[in-house]
Amino acid sequence: MSEDEASPHAVGNAPLPGRFWLYTAFTAVSMLGFATFAVFAYHDQAQHVMVPALIPVTYAVAMGADALAALGSGWLYDRIGLRGLIVALPLTVLVPLFAFQDSPGLIWVGAVVWGTVMGVHESTLRAAVADLVPAARRGTAYGIFTATYGVAWLAGSTMIGALYSVSITAVVAFVAATQIAALALFVPLIQRESG
């Protein structure tokens, strides 16, 4: 077998870059502070904030925001790279401030903000993996990244659900702490991208 024939196999077995692992850690920590929509739907129903028939409509509104944000986030990523992801961190902190209120108007705002963060996640957050790993390792990288994303999201939503029974203030504090920790991991990523 020639060296040319062996090289794709060698690249396919190469370790994933450190920058990928840092990015995956950043994603995991940021996802710990991002609840699933079901947590907010539970609040809406349990606190009788809106009639049950409107709860799925808030999700539809969130998905509309998701679609628009995905377009904007993708456009931004093409122009400034990973730095465009920074917007998801403060928006994630805003989600519980709106979504756990007793005012239907604020609940709608919370749905839009939640959908906006999802749009960033579903477009740019995942797309960036392709730029962080060699082509021959993308399948493995996406598998690891997506598994980490899902487990962190499950763990975070579970924690937020548990904290919800304590107080909304506890939820906000937890979410804020996760996003600050995620920012601490994000800064080295940006420095490496610029360097």
Per-residue pLDDT tens listing for the chain (195 residues): 444 444 444 556 789 999 999 999 999 999 999 999 999 999 999 999 999 999 999 999 999 999 999 999 999 999 999 999 999 999 999 999 999 999 999 999 999 999 999 999 988 988 899 999 999 999 999 999 999 999 999 999 999 999 999 999 999 999 999 999 999 999 998 887 665
In this prediction, residue 143 carries a pLDDT of 96
Instruction: Read off the CATH number of the domain in which 30 is found.
Output: 1.20.1250.20
- Global pTM? 0.88
In a domain, 3, yes or no: no
Could you give the number of structural domains in the chain? 1
In a domain, 8, yes or no: no
Cα distances from 77 to residues 29, 34, 86, 122, 125, in angstroms, run 21, 21, 11, 13, 9
In a domain, 5, yes or no: no
In a domain, 132, yes or no: yes
In a domain, 12, yes or no: no
Q: Which helix (H) or strand (E) holds 99?
A: helix 88-99
In a domain, 125, yes or no: yes
In a domain, 186, yes or no: yes
The range of the structural domain enclosing residue 119 comes to 18-194
In a domain, 7, yes or no: no
